[in-house]
Structure 1
Amino acid sequence: MTPPALPDWFQRPENRFRTAAFWFWHHLPTPQMCREAIADMKRAGLGCILVQARLAMPLSDYLSPNYLALCRLVSDLAEEHGLSIEIYDEYGWMSGHGGGLTVQGADHLRERHLFWTSGILQNGQATLQISDIDATFLDFLGPAGRRWTHEGGKARWGLWQIVAGGVIPSRTLLQPSQIKFLETGDSGCTVQITASDIPDETPVALFVAATCLTSRLVNYLLPETAERFSNRVYVPLREAFPKAEAFFFDHPYAGFYTWNGQNSGSGHCAIHNSLLWDDSLIDAGINGIILLEAIYGTGPQAASRRAYLFETYARQMHHAFFRTLRRWCDAHDIGLTGHELLPHVGGWNLLGGLGGGIDARVAPSVDYFDIDTFKTQSVTDAADYNSQLSAILGDSLARAHGRTRCTVEQYSTGREMGRPSLYGQWDLSLSRLSAQMIRHILQGARRVLLHALFLPDAIHPNPAHQSDPRFDFAPGFNLQPWWDDAPDVLEELARLSAFLEDGVPVRSVALFYPLEDLREGRSTPDCAAHFGLWAEALMDAGVGYTVIDEKQISEEAVCNGWLHLVSGQFDTLILPDVTVVRDPQTLSILEQFSRTGGRLLRSGKAVTTSRNDRTRWIEGPIITTSEIARLIQDTLPPPLLSIEGRPQRITLQRLTPSLLRIAVFNDSDQERTARLSSAPQDRILLEWRCDTAVAMSPVFIPANTTFSLSLRPRQLSTFELSVAMAEAHCSLIKEEPCPPPFYKEMLTGWLFQSDPESSPLPISTECGWEQQGFQHFSGVGIYTLYLSNSNRPYNKNLYLVLPKISGTLRCLVNGIEIGKSIEHSASFLLPSSNQDFKISLYIRNTAANILHHSMDSCLDLTDFSSGLLATPYIWNGIAPIK
């Protein structure tokens, strides 16, 4: 049967499926730089670009007439080349400050915070002090970060206000007349409490507010903040990018202040960073009693008060900032997207990623489902190159609001490699990047947003720059030698995304997002780790699932053991150490779900209660974290398709009851076998090749027959699986032919050039070129071998095998390309010819040899190898490697 022609939408995917990229401007580019860069972005296969000013750019240049003129040029060039534009809405990040423009001439919009301290009454008095207020979260940015966030590089505090004081054990408030300032300064204050009617040795607490007079960061509790931000930043950027599809906000707020006195007196408090403050919070119900119990309380009532505080606090921020921006965007016919702080970034634990050590509840964060209501497209953040939660959470947020899929912003830190964050990964290979992007797309990303492309002179920084652009979350992808090989990879990924767009993902498991536990916790709650363990174990087991929040669960959702939610239909619900929900009605619904046949799984604590009715609960067996993987295997039905061993990287989309789309990725360095389970009816498997945009011959799978598929290391395969019609004619499953007699020939005598014009030199293929005199060379290394065919016993079906490679590779024989690879090994069918061969291998490495070898001793250079790392050979038979 002739393979069908694949549709145009698959052969030439739309921009929405294509990789997007931030374009870092460390200074104002020239118009010629813009023209060359946009043309290169189109050549690379990108679909969308977002201009982003970075810390090396003088603040005075941001939104200047020259800046906006260049933005307009970029807009015109993007339209000319068929690229989409989204508008990054900040200088750097922490959306809302507009490079300081929001608070310029509006000091009342600068960030204002609530601080607290405690002490012990002695002789009817206590003198309490708050000092050394510091934002250590930004230390990784160095002095440049301090100068960026604070005018003059230093935080200076003022406009001190006593908010409340109280007696910790009795939860009673002090009178205002009992509290007075002894001293206020730009780094703290001293307050005296006088309470002669209270016994000595009684612990008392104090709550004060202050404004950071030098901060460029803003107070998200005030709608005026978002109004001024949109007027001063959105208006000129919208005019400069008239065809843009959306504004993109990034990580609003990252102050996370700590101070001396924070944990004094009565011991460790339950909130670990200062809260943004405005007196409107008092009107919303956050009074002194709430603060006293939420911060210093330890019992169930205090936990409920803490959840109430953060629910009210988040609502005020979300409505004041995100709703105001969304209203502006709706009025100006443009979308609103972006992401908030995500402390799981880089991993699966809800609080165990790059946000470790901060209290994310004080930021516009944690209730991601609420924030997503204000977006037109869901976006999440991902760090480094391991599997993580980001994409599946982003897709779940979108589905909770009637949308599908998400954008995943992918950036690189040095932490993964044991380096400072900003150093990033100039040694990142195209293979590692491709594998990570495939993981994201299989987990629910429509596209990946690269962080970032650099200006061409970023690797030759001006010493006057306030930050080093070479190590601004490197790499600059477009400055990597392998970037010339990226177009094929990005095209393949765009086709994969387009292939998975239609239909409904096959997911019958819902993973409950433990919002109330996160809000109530005094320290890091166990649910954060339990959630991550479930999320990763389900993914590695090949079990499709969606993250849901409590707001989706209603009485009407339960029917015959199924949860029918806007985000999907589920017969299994998992509670990851969920000890509390907001509404007691939720407990009744979950009990009904279980009674009618739904599968309710849980780990951690045996009892779940509701916030304000601790007498209501549901119980279940205690499952420890070590039992999660076993419980998944023993309880949940086996997947339709599975790969031998773990992890599973599979996704299924159901288009009709009889038609599935399947994508499978061998996320390992070994060849593995995938097995499609049997079915009672005949089926047809049609492979859609994402790399070539062609279909292979259909394969007929008889009823009650399993089908095995061999997957090379890092191989991606995509198929349509359908029920066979009576008149279907296609290939039958066949036994593999016996291999021909064995033949293997080691290939030695290679020559090497780092410059096509230089004389070739002999080189070993057992180690990288760094160890052979080319330790500072980044670029295209050319390996050449002249091979006589006169004595070779087989001149047909011979394969050139390259068992170990570092870099991207193009293979030419007698000047004709016969194949290419981005992986660590490759094999290519040699031409059937009696002629002698000139084999040329063009290998592109990373920029690490240029940049990292010049840096200090904190970098481990042992893994910087480029080129051929094992002796190539020729053999006959089935190609062992691609």
Structure 2
Amino acid sequence: MCREAIADMKRAGLGCILVQARLAMPLSDYLSPSYLALCRLVSALADEHGLSIEIYDEYGWMSGHGGGLTVQGADHLRERHLFWTSGILQNGQVTLQISDIDATFLDFLGPAARRWTYESGKPQWGLWQIVSGGVISSRTLLQPSQIRFLETGDSGCTVQITAPDLPDGSPVALFVAATCLTSRLVNYLIQETAERFSNRVYAPLREAFPKAEAFFFDHPYAGFYTWNGQNSASGPDAIHNSLLWDNSLTETGIDGIVLLDAVYGTDPQAASQRAYLFETYARQMHHAFFGTLRRWCDVHDIGLTGHELLPHVGGWNLLGGLGGIDARVAPGGDYFGIDTFKTQSVTDAADYNPQLSAILGDSLARAHGRTRCTVEQYSTGREVGRPSLHGQWDLSLSRLRAQMIRHIFQGARRVLLHALFLPDALHPNPDHQSAPRFDFAPGFNLQPWWDDAPDVLEELARLSAFLEGGVPVRSVALFYPLEDLREGRSSPDCADHFGLWAEALMNAGIGYTVIDEKQINEETVFNGWLHLTSGQFDTLILPDVTVVHDPKTLSILEEFSRTGGRILRSGSTSTVSRNDRTRRFEGPAILTSDIAFFIKDAFPSPLMSIEGQSQRIAVQKLTPSLLRVTVFNDSDQERSARLTATPQERTLLEWQCETGEAMSPVFISANTTYVFPLKPKQLLAFELSVTVSETRSFPMNKAPCPSTPYKTILETDWLFQTGPDSSPVPISVECGWEQQGFGHFSGTGIYTLHLPHFNRFNKQSLSLIVPKISGTMRCFVNEIQIGKSIEDNASFLLPCLDQPFKISIHIRNTMANTLYPAMDTPLKPTEFPCGLLSAPYISAS
């Protein structure tokens, strides 16, 4: 199966593969001698086919545990967490309880995830420790002698606080730590964790994949635990989930006062303490885990890449993709901080709507002197109203292509498909502990339309290569509000404001880069410009930025504004620094409801624009006089793209991403607007240069000569086969084959129509119009292919034949109507249209 799969990957046009052990594989097999032997085979096969390898570093995900090998024989490296609760003193005492500790975040993966995460399938807690306790209202700490355990167990503890000198009604808080004794997950705060992980996991995988280019980490996960007793008496917790804990944190200044403020405080001083807690906590995780892995990789001459848990995936809001968690307790809140340890940037993308992922990944790379990024694209059922793991077996090649084009336009060099399956995923061994066919479905390569993917993947590879050179034309910097994310409650307004700006700028065709505060200093600001590694910007946007880290940043923002730079803001009209709240940088704020309208009025018209839709345009500057421009009609309607007039004469050279060929150059006169017609889902790429020699104007499009309308509807006499060897049967072309007795068929459906007495009308050029299709399509006339399409409609020029026509239309659907009904889901075959959905017709071209 590996041989077959890798040969198919090469045929499809993929360039790099990662091997991932999924839940259907027994955990005991992971990194076994037979597993590593198979890895060596895959490595050799990839090399034989010219495919590169990156090493996925985990069983499933949650990098660091190595399928439990990291903590095996090293219980002190298992995940250890800080929990808290509070109560009111009465008669000098209060009894506090923490119970029912659970991580509901794992529920979407089902019981298999529990078995993979915990020995015996459930968490059991022990090694309880009292960390601190104090009076919330006065910010004073209790003495250790005033706090004692009454009871400890595998799911919680009971603690008594005795403080007779304190008045009745005093609110007190308790902080305790415990280790999950059955967890395979690890403590990222301890450097030994990464050392043991690299020795036990990285070393054997490096030996099995000797030509691998990089290790790829995935979602290092710090546990989103909740518990009974979590809410304080005075209101909701400032921190939604437990934190990883190690006593070494107390050496960094995280003491009981900091914890009191961070969890229970509501004033500006408490907000500063909360930011300090998360800054210190994240720094220790980053250096202990990622820093150690990077040093190991440097010694062993291999790159380090991957992505952390990204709560924006699937949308634009910084916290809008994954609900019900406090992402600050995981390593990934400071994306720019983690990216310093990588050799290439990777971000995650969920489902098939426009989203932040690629532009953020490209911004991270440029902040660290690299360019562009990899985007891992996966599917969930959430986008289409299903449980996550039911996925999207009904995903079309057209939707996948459109999403990859969006990513490449926004800064992705390549897209990593999660995932391609081995063939037995469709017919799993009954001993599998989970159903692989519903493990982030679909398995792209098991879709019937995968046979049509090579053309699409080659087109996208050419698009990426076309945009590889030069520098993106971006004049706007969008500020990443890290301090507000750290200081705020679990869902600060800045996350929403950031998303509104990011989406509106993209839809308006305004190029922008996300920057963090560390990029702004005295040397980067002069003459009204931000001169950064990632580009030069004359506009800086502050999305509800109420606080920055360094007071010097406020002075730099003032200098930027004073010398002609433009600062736009929404939400708060005032920004302070974390440790000096007396000094402010102020300015008018734009209402969130006005952001899209404001952008339209406040920025000059872009070089290119598409009428009547959100802009999908990328512009790269190769030299001062040479641009590369790509345009995508991200709609199902014909549109026009308009190239703005300039005082200079220009030369336009179009490149066909489908074929790699260049068209004849077009010369555009000065002060002339040029209009491109765009078909639905059409991709356009061209170079635009200022003409230095004598030029001539581009030819005007001539109006077509009037002719007699001609249209023949082909609505009857069609035959249908489920393969070349099956018997043809009559079929209607007004509705899909799923409604005509073929509801459970996935594969290539063949429609055939014989036209024995067809007469060409006045010898005109004629086209076959197919107005509504579901699936990928290839069209044949008299056994000769005349065209192909992956969209929901198509048009093909008919050959000039003076003989009977035989039209054959081959359509490949998805696996949805085969797999969903067979797996006891509420989804029925008739929910997934297949084939021709409206009668084709012949029309004068």
TM-score by length of 2: 0.99
Q: Secondary structure of the residue that 2:220 maps to in structure 1?
A: coil
- Matched with 2:463 is 496
Query: Mean alpha-carbon deviation: is it higher for 844-853 or for 242-251?
Result: 844-853
Indicate if the aligned counterparts of 2:188 and 2:194 stay in contact, CA closer than 8 A.
yes
Q: Which residue matches 1:57?
A: 25
Confirm or deny: 8 A CA contact 2:497 2:592 kept in the other structure: yes
Match of 1:142 among 97, 110, 120: 110
In the other structure, the counterpart of 2:713 is 746
Separation in 1, partners of 2:552, 2:613: 39
Cα deviations by residue, 1:102-156 (Å, 9 ceiling, x for unpaired): 0000000000000000000010001000000000000011111111100000100
Higher mean C-alpha displacement, 739-748 vs 93-102: 739-748
RMSD value over aligned CA atoms? 1.1
Aligned with 1:602 (options 556, 569, 581): 569
Shift of the 598–264 alpha-carbon distance from structure 1 to 2, 3 Å rule, reads closer
Question: For residues 342 and 563 of structure 1, what CA distance do their matches in structure 2 show?
Answer: 27
Residue 458 of structure 1: SS of its match in structure 2?
Answer: helix
SS of corresponding position for 1:467: coil
**Alignment pair present for 1:842 and 2:810:** yes
Q: Which of 358, 377, 390 pairs up with 2:325?
A: 358
Whether 1:276 and 2:259 are equivalent positions in the alignment is no
- Aligned partner of 1:111 among 79, 87, 98: 79
Aligned partners of 1:662, 1:780: CA distance in 2, in Å? 37
d(CA) in 2 for partners of 1:585, 1:479: 55
Worse overlay, 454-463 or 362-371: 454-463
Deviations 1:212-269 (A, max 9, x none): 0000000000000000000000000000000000000000015200000000433311
**Distance in 1 between the 2:432 and 2:52 partners?**
31
Q: Which residue of 2 aligns with 1:344?
A: 312
Give the alignment of 1:719-758 within 5 angstroms: 719-727=686-694, 732-738=699-705, 740-748=707-715, 749-758=717-726
Give per-residue Cα distances to partners, 1:571-590, cap 9 Å, x unaligned: 00000011110111111111
CA positional deviation for 1:535:
0.2
Q: What is the CA distance between 1:861 and its match in structure 2?
A: 5.6
Residue identity in the other structure for 2:749: G
Asked if 1:818 is matched to 2:786, the reply is yes
Q: Structure 1: which 4+ aligned runs deviate by more than 6 Å?
A: none
Instruction: Kindly provide the amino acid, as one letter, of the partner of residue 266 in structure 1.
Output: S
Residue 406 of structure 2 is aligned to residue 439 of structure 1: yes
Which residue of the other structure, out of 615, 620, 628, is the alignment partner of 1:648?
Answer: 615
Question: By how many angstroms is 1:859 displaced?
Answer: 3.3
Taking the aligned partners of 2:367 and 2:828, their CA distance within structure 1 comes to: 44
Partner amino acid, structure 2, of 1:778: S
- Equivalent residue number for residue 525 of structure 1: 492
Which residue number corresponds to residue 370 of structure 1? 337
Is 1:235 equivalent to 2:216 in the alignment? no
Is the CA contact 1:90–1:99 (under 8 Å) kept in the aligned structure 2? Answer: yes
Matches within 5 A, 1:94-173: 94-173=62-141
Counterpart of 2:204, as a letter, is P
Match of 1:611 in 2: 578
Are the aligned partners of 2:720 and 2:749 in contact in 1 as well (CA < 8 Å)?
A: yes
Cα distance in 2 between the residues matched to 1:343 and 1:790? 59
Task: For residue 460 of structure 1, report the CA deviation from its aligned partner.
Answer: 1.1
Q: Quick one: which amino acid aligns to residue 433 of structure 2?
A: Q
CA distance in 2, matches of 1:853, 1:741: 50
**Contact persistence 2:187–2:222 (CA under 8 A):** no
1:430 aligns with 2:407: no
- Per-residue deviation at 1:857? 4.8
Deviations 1:153-195 (A, max 9, x none): 0100000000000000000000001000111111100000000
Q: Take 2:401 and 2:631, find their aligned partners in 1: how far apart are those partners? A: 14
1:553 alignment partner, one of 493, 515, 520: 520
Partner of 1:564: 531
Matching residue of 1:73: 41
**Which structure has the higher relative contact order (CA within 8 Å, separation 6+)?**
1
Matched to 2:753, the amino acid is L
Offset at 1:621?
1.2
The structural deviation recorded for 1:727 is 4.5
Give the corresponding residue for 2:160. 192
Say if 2:71 and 2:184, in contact at 8 Å, map to a contact too.
yes
Question: Would the aligned equivalents of 1:412 and 1:473 in 2 still touch at CA under 8 Å?
Answer: yes
Among all aligned residue pairs of Structure 1 and Structure 2, give the percentage whose two residues are the same amino acid.
80
Cα deviations across residues 492-547 of structure 1 (Å, max 9, x unaligned)? 00000000000000000000000000000124110000000000000000000000
Residue correspondence of structure 1 range 189-338 to structure 2 within 5 A: 189-338=157-306
Whether 2:540 is the aligned partner of 1:540: answer no
- Asked if the contact 2:758–2:805 (Cα under 8 Å) also holds between the matched residues in 1, the reply is no
1:40 partner letter:
D
Counterpart of 1:792? 760
* Counterpart-to-counterpart distance in 2, 1:655 and 1:34: 42
Q: Residue type of the partner of 1:496?
A: L
Q: In the alignment, which residue of structure 2 is the partner of 1:663?
A: 630
What is the alpha-carbon distance in structure 1 between the residues aligned to residue 706 and residue 647 of structure 2? 33
Is the contact made by 1:697 and 1:730 (CA closer than 8 Å) also made in structure 2? no
State the match for 1:867 in structure 2: 835
Aligned-partner residue type, residue 607 of structure 1? S
Quote the Cα distance in structure 1 between the aligned partners of 2:269 and 2:817.
Answer: 59
Residues 627 and 688, structure 2, Cα contact 8 Å, conserved in 1: yes
Question: Of the candidates 461, 471, 474, which is equivalent to residue 428 of structure 2?
Answer: 461
Deviations 1:847-872 (CA, angstroms, capped at 9, x unpaired): 01110122345437654000000110
Q: Which runs of 5+ in 2 are unaligned?
A: none
State the partner residue of 1:690.
Answer: 657
Q: Which moved more, 1:515-524 or 1:208-217?
A: 515-524
Distance (whole Å) between structure 1 residues aligned to residue 580 and residue 213 of structure 2: 46
In structure 2, distance between residues paired with 1:840 and 1:317: 60
Letter in 1 for 2:726: S
Q: Which amino acid aligns with 1:399?
A: R
1:628 to 582, 595, 619: 595
Matching of residue 43 in structure 1 with residue 15 in structure 2: no
Per-residue deviation, 1:794: 3.5
Residue 11 of structure 1 is matched in structure 2 by none
For residue 427 of structure 1, what is the amino acid of its counterpart? D
Alignment match, 2:684: 717
One-letter amino acid of the counterpart of residue 775, structure 2:
G
Aligned equivalent of 1:17: none
Q: Decide whether the 8 Å contact of 2:738 with 2:834 is kept in 1.
A: yes
Q: Which residue of 1 aligns with 2:372?
A: 405
C-alpha separation in 2, matches of 1:548 and 1:754: 54
Structure 1, residues 549-587: CA drift from partner, whole Å, max 9, x if none? 000001121111111011110000000011110111111
CA offset at residue 34 of structure 1? 1.4
Q: Secondary structure at the match of 1:323?
A: helix
Partner secondary structure for residue 483 of structure 1: helix
Matched residues in 1 for 2:627 and 2:391: separation?
Answer: 40
Query: For the structure 1 residues 692 and 864, does the alpha-carbon distance in structure 2 shift closer, same or farther, using more than 3 Å as the test?
Result: same
Aligned to 1:451: 418
Q: Is the 8 A contact 1:701 1:733 kept in 2?
A: no
* Alpha-carbon distance between aligned partners in 1 of 2:783 and 2:752, rounded to the nearest angstrom: 11
**Match status 1:576 vs 2:543:** yes
Paired residues of 1:54 and 1:91 also in contact (CA < 8 A): yes
SS of residue matched to 1:210: strand
